[in-house]
Amino acid sequence: MKLIVLFCLVAVALAQDEKDAQIIRQDYQLNEDGSFQADLETSNQIVATRSGQSFPGNEPETGSYKMSGEYSYTAPDGTPIRVTWEADELGYRAQSDVIPTV
């Protein structure tokens, strides 16, 4: 019985860590040319980076923007997850070992 109570307490403590996660690092740089770089890390080991670049068009209000980045975290079963992605005029494309391919 004591072992069951101990496991329950550990499960509650682990759940609290996720719920109470804090941002421990956040950087954002916006450049004059419209490009940017952003980074984020949380106390529960979620890490995300992203960057973007503006490509002006020939006419006002035209052009495109390309963004890319990645994020990583640990799944509840302990599996490390890493996803890389790109987004542009062709849409959003993500790649990861955990994303099924078609």
Domain count, the chain: 1
Is residue 102 one of the residues assigned to a domain? Answer: no
Is residue 6 one of the residues assigned to a domain? Answer: no
- For tokens 């952003």, name the residue: 38
Nearest to 53 by CA among 73, 71, 38, 68: 68
Domain that holds residue 28: 22-95
Is residue 31 one of the residues assigned to a domain? Answer: yes
Q: Which pLDDT tens digits describe the chain residue by residue (102 residues)?
A: 343 433 433 444 444 467 889 999 999 999 998 899 999 999 999 999 999 998 888 888 888 899 999 999 999 999 999 999 999 999 999 999 998 887
Burial 46-68 (b: 16+ CB within 10 A, else e): bebbbebeeeeeeeeeeeeeebe
Is residue 1 one of the residues assigned to a domain? Answer: no
Q: What percent of the chain has pLDDT over 70?
A: 82
Task: Give Cβ neighbours of residue 35 (< 8 Å, ≥ 6 apart).
Answer: 51, 52, 53, 54
Is residue 51 one of the residues assigned to a domain? Answer: yes
